């Protein structure tokens, strides 16, 4: 996972660089939480441009991080999903709390 | 003599989480013989990942056990059987419900069976407490030639009717 913090708008970009399943979330979860508590951003943006696969483990991962950012008074967004990932996200109903933002780099 | 099945494969592996990717990629490679679309292949991969992960997290509760996959190709359909000898499901009807999970503490969302059901055509769940769980999923691959053939037939039909 790569991350980038933009001071200007206090946005933390979390770019996931592996397939998201039960195995990989164990590691990614810890990395994300470290970054979120380190930067205390106003918003986190999950960048899916490098994610080729995601199952329900990804839903749990996103909801968990959403709870953390909400606790800190911030919001969350998703960008750059492919078709099959969007399908899993839509089914879960998660997009009501973490919307997909179509344009890249909207802050 | 032609065998009963067009093709068949079996796979057995330990309930380690790094086998989740191995399992879905292997089944997808086998399913590729039916010439599915990228989207159909993604559906199969996701469904397999859900079932295998369930064996690891719920069936064996992260202890070591064996997971078995049997996949069969018959005409344009794939049947995938995924089973464990784990703790079993107490109430299958309840387990199928969206958002139902017994492991919310592990950040599970209870969407696994819902995803399997919507990405595959059919999902059967057989489970016996302390014996194990077997999930059987089927999906028809819609061949492009079939779609074209049907369109042609429809055209002929229409020509006859008109
Ligand atoms: N192989 C299995 N062995 C024992 N129990 C199972 C098995 N598969 C599923 N279950 C039970 O069925 C419930 C629902 O499964 P489902 O996959 O829909 O959700 P989940 O695994 O809890 O969460 P998610 O799949 O969204 O991460 C599980 O919480 C578990 O109690
Ligand atoms: Mg599951």
Domain positions in chain B are: 7-161
Q: Write out the two tokens for B50.
A: 């859900």
B125 Cβ contact list (under 8 Å, min separation 6): B89, B92, B95, B96, B113, B133, B134, B135
Which chain B residues are within 8 Å of A88, Cβ to Cβ? 46, 115
How far CA A103 is from CA of A17, B14, B50, B143, in Å, comes to: 20, 42, 30, 35
Residue B144 is predicted with a pLDDT of 67
Domain span holding position A42: 2-105
Q: How far is the C-alpha of B152 from the C-alpha of B146, rounded, in Å?
A: 10
CATH of the domain at A68: 3.30.750.24
Site to probe by mutation for ligand 1, drawn from B56, B62, B84, B112 as the one with most ligand atoms within 8 Å of Cβ, is: B112
User: ipTM of the predicted structure?
Assistant: 0.92
**A43, A49, A54, A57 alpha-carbon torsion, rounded to 10°:** -20
- C-alpha R_g of chain B: 18
Ligand number, closest to the Cα atom of B104:
1
> Average model confidence (pLDDT) for chain A?
94
pLDDT at A10 over 60: yes
**What are the angstrom distances between the C-alpha of A51 and each of A16, A48, A55, A94?**
6, 5, 11, 18
B134 within ligand 1 shell (Cβ under 6 A): no
Q: Predicted confidence band at B143 (pLDDT cuts at 50, 70, 90)?
A: confident
- The phi, psi pair for A24, rounded to 5°, reads -80, -30
- Nearest-CA neighbor of B45 among B83, B12, B75, B71? B71
pLDDT category of residue B150 using cuts at 50, 70 and 90: low
CA distance to partner chain A, nearest, from residue B111 (Å): 6
Q: Which residues of B touch A61 (CB under 8 A)?
A: 107
| Active-site residue (options: B8, B76, B108, B138) | B108
To the query of whether residue B108 is one of the catalytic residues in this protein, the response is yes
Q: How many domains does chain A have?
A: 1
Give the model confidence (pLDDT) of A21-74 as tens digits. 999 999 999 999 999 999 999 999 999 999 999 999 999 999 999 999 999 999
Instruction: Give the one of A19, A60, A92 whose C-beta lies nearest to B107's C-beta.
Output: A60
Give the three-state DSSP class for A50: coil
Q: How far apart are CA A47 and CA A49, in angstroms?
A: 6
Best CA proximity match to B110, nearest among A65, A56, A97, A86: A56
Report the topology of domain B7-161: Heat Shock Protein 90 (3.30.565)
pTM, 2 dp: 0.92
Q: What are residue B136's DSSP bridge partners?
A: B81, B124
Which of B19, B20, B40, B54 is flagged as catalytic?
B54
């Amino acid at each position: 996972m790569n991350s980038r913090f933009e001071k200007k708008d206090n946005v933390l970009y979390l770019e996931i660089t592996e397939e998201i399943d039960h195995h990989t979330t164990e590691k990614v979860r810890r990395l994300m939480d470290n970054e979120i508590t380190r930067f205390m951003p106003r918003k986190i943006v999950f960048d899916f441009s490098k994610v080729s696969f995601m199952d329900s483990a990804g839903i749990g991962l996103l909801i968990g991080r959403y709870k953390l950012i909400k606790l800190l008074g911030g919001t969350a967004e998703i960008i750059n999903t492919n078709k099959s990932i969007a399908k899993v996200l839509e089914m879960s109903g998660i997009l009501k709390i973490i919307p997909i933002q179509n344009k890249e780099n909207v802050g | 003599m032609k065998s009963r099945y067009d093709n068949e494969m079996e796979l057995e592996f330990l309930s380690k989480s790094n086998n989740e990717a191995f399992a879905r990629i292997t089944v997808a490679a086998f399913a590729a013989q039916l010439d599915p679309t990228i989207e159909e292949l993604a559906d199969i991969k996701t469904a397999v990942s859900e079932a295998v992960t369930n064996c690891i997290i719920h069936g064996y509760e992260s202890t070591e056990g064996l997971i078995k996959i049997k996949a069969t190709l018959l005409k344009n359909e794939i049947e995938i059987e995924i089973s464990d000898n784990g703790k079993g499901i107490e109430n299958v009807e309840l387990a199928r419900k969206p958002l139902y999970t017994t492991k919310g503490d592990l950040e599970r969302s209870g969407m696994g069976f819902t995803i399997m059901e919507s990405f595959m055509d059919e999902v059967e769940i057989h489970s016996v407490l302390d014996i194990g769980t077997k999930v059987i999923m089927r999906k028809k691959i819609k061949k492009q030639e079939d779609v074209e053939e049907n369109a042609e037939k429809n055209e002929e039909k229409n020509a006859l009717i008109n």
